[in-house]
Amino acid sequence: MNFRDLIYLRALSRHKHFGKAAESCHVSQPTLSVQLKKLEEDLGVTLIERSKRAARLTPIGESVLSLAEDALGAVDAIREITADASDPFSGQFRFGSIPTISPFLVPNMFKALGHAFPKLQLAFRENITERLTEDLLNGDLDAAILATPPGTPNLLSLPLYDEPLLVIHPIGHDLAALDGLDPSDLPLDQMILLSEGHCFRDQTVDLCNIQGGTTLAETSVTSLETIISLVAAGQGISIVPALAQATGWLDRPRIGVQPLRSQGATRQLNLTYRKSAPRQPLMKAVSKEIATLLAPMNLTR
């Protein structure tokens, strides 16, 4: 038994499929399958329940993996610590972002970090808050840009900026005649929301006090880009973060933009990372680079 076998076992537990597990470990499926079979023979137990379409760990397999996680965590920590000792600003930096931030910030962030830390190898993943949090805790990400505070003491966060929320509507809409919009001014039956699972949807629902029986437009999408296009086409109204305007995404002739004047009509973005992360100087340096990038947009920390 070796650490590589345990890494394969962990990958199979996550993906429940030999092919996908092998792909995540950058090996061929036969290699992963043979090694796991040897591990079972070595231990004298069946660790994996196999079927034609899927694979899952047996109860004893789950117990073995639970103990193996501690060992794998220690190996990962050793690798990170040694990399940190030589140069905390080199090596791979795996970061993630929620979809309501990524299109407006990540492309310029790639450029800024690449210029500031030329030895850093950047790897990016976009997902909803719940999945990014899981990836952080599992060690699959080094940091993530989130709009909610950590829900566990195992994670820390550095504030990046406070972002106002804006109302967007088609040109000529009745809202254009109002000066200083309040959430109560918004016709909820015209509101286009992100789909379930997005924290920005939850914030919009709370801000507008949308109750379960409220009639909403029968439109729910997975990206702010689509929402902006729908509003430009006259299909409804919505709430978007100010970064969408600051980066030019709202510069369309058929879209009206107005500030939302209400307490709570902002969100705070944070760089979140594991409390045990050895490269904390890198986290602080990355947060400063992002703040510098956003300074011309008048977004404050």
Alpha helices in 151-279 (DSSP H): 199-207, 224-232, 242-246
Write the single-letter amino acid at 53: R
Q: Which residues of 169-190 are buried (b: 16+ CB within 10 A; e: fewer)?
A: bbeebebeeeeebebeebebeb
Stretch 46-52: mean pLDDT: 91
DSSP letter at 214 equals -
pLDDT confidence tier of residue 127, bands split at 50, 70 and 90: very high
Residue 131 has a pLDDT of: 93
Residue 48 has a pLDDT of: 94
**Claim: this prediction has a pTM higher than 0.75:** no
d(CA 82, CA 74): 12
Stretch 136-156: mean pLDDT: 92
214, pLDDT greater than 70: no
pLDDT, tens digit, for every residue of 161-188? 888 899 999 999 999 988 888 888 988 8
156, pLDDT greater than 90: yes
Domains and CATH numbers, the chain: 3-84 (1.10.10.10), 88-160+269-297 (3.40.190.10), 162-266 (3.40.190.10)
pLDDT, tens digit, for every residue of 28-45? 999 999 999 999 999 999
217, pLDDT greater than 70: no
Residue 212 has a pLDDT of: 58
pLDDT, tens digit, for every residue of 184-210? 898 888 889 888 888 888 888 888 877
Sign, CA dihedral 181-247-123-95, equals negative
Q: Which residue has the higher pLDDT, 220 or 267?
A: 267
Q: What is the DSSP string of 139-162?
A: TS-SEEEESS--SSTTEEEEEEEE
Alpha-carbon distances, residue 76 vs 80, 83, 147, 277 (angstroms) = 6, 11, 27, 10
With a pLDDT cut of 70, the percent of the chain lying above it is 94
Stretch 75-103: mean pLDDT: 81
Residue 79 has a pLDDT of: 75
